[in-house]
Amino acid sequence: ATPVALLVGTGRGAQLGILIKGPEALEQTRRVDTILLDKTGTLTSGRMSLGQVTATGDADTALRYAAALESASEHPIARAIVAAAAAAPGAHGTALPDVSGFRATAGLGVSGTVEGHAVIVGRPSLFPGPLDPRLIAAIDASTGTAVVVGWGDEARAVLDIADTVRPEAPAALAELVSLGLTPILLTGDNARTAGQVAAAVGIEQVFSAMLPEDKVATIRRLQSEGRVVAMVGDGVNDAAALAQADLGIALATGTDVAIEASDVTIVRDHLGTVPDAIRLSRRTLRVIK
């Protein structure tokens, strides 16, 4: 490899909004045959919003407790909940209650003590159940991500969180396929939401309800089958998967840990930059060879 050609490649990359960490990253990009994409913030805008709130008791309290905990989280779900609580009627000027013992568990949710209650906010599976039929109905009716809020071991509310598929995602996925890559959706979210997003962008293979360690194990398995795997992600919980992949691609809108763990960073907030990066690396390496 001549340093000059590499400089051309990375310089052109910068113009396209792609930062490449080094020559090894370019080489990996050329060899990739399988591309795994995270859902939230990668295939979707990640600018989530709160829809329907269903509670067995006082919905405002459930939302306030949830927002108190989520104000310490940087997950897109957390931002949606905090924004909704701030915008709620009567919330004006009222501070959120204090939290002690805050804990975030990647891919599951958050917990902590609020006004003397051990509050949990996250996946429905965090609550052993049986859940109130109204909450079960709300989870079933959700077209987005159903987040459950509870305390004292009891689920008390379901917050339906909506996200939107990035408008450029279907075209970007079609380009990746035309470049010969097999796209796979890899997400911590539930199977139904994952399936809807996959169908909307044109992905056939889906792995859902994946914990961060499941994402890593899935990549290892694909690698052991001889595949060269790229992973595109943005979240804290994607860092291990980005590091395990042969090529980690982080969106610059993502978290610092995700960017740190990656070989390539997409500076332009547009998914079309991912196929651009693949094409660029192939061209650059043709020049070098």
- Binding residues for ligand ADP, per CB under 6 A? 38-40, 70, 73, 75, 77-78, 107-110, 121-123, 145, 147, 187-189, 235, 237
Q: How far apart are CA 114 and CA 118, in angstroms?
A: 7
Q: Shortest gap between Cβ of 107 and ligand ADP (angstroms)?
A: 4
10 touches, from ligand ADP, Mg ion, none (C-beta below 5 to 8 Å by class): none
Q: Which stretch binds Mg ion (CB under 5 A): 79-87, 95-103, 235-243, 277-285?
A: 235-243
Q: In the complex with ligand ADP, which residue's Cβ is closer, 38 or 160?
A: 38
145 touches Mg ion (CB under 5 A)? no
Tell me which residue of 246, 242, 272 sits closest to 258, measured CA to CA.
242
**Site size with Mg ion, rule: CB under 5 A:** 4
Q: Are 285 and 27 in contact (CB under 8 A)?
A: yes
Candidate list 38, 163, 234, 276, residue with the active-site label:
38
| Residue whose tokens read 């990668």 | 42
Least Cα distance to 43 among 144, 145, 172, 180 occurs for: 172
Comparing every residue's Cβ against Mg ion, the nearest one is: 235
Burial of 113 (0-12, 13-18, 19+ CB in 10 A): middle
Binder among 38, 70, 160, 263 for Mg ion (CB under 5 A):
38
Out of 28, 29, 34, 40, the only residue in the binding site for Mg ion (CB under 5 A) is: 40
Instruction: Kindly provide the residue ranges of all beta strands, DSSP E only, lying in the chain, ordered along the sequence.
Output: 18-20, 34-37, 49-55, 99-105, 109-114, 117-122, 145-151, 154-162, 182-186, 205-207, 229-233, 247-251, 264-266
Determine, following the binding rule CB under 5 A, whether residue 13 of this chain makes contact with Mg ion. no
Beta bridge partners of 207: 186
- Among this protein's residues, is 153 annotated catalytic? no
Active site residues: 38
Site residues (CB under 5 A) for Mg ion? 38, 40-41, 235
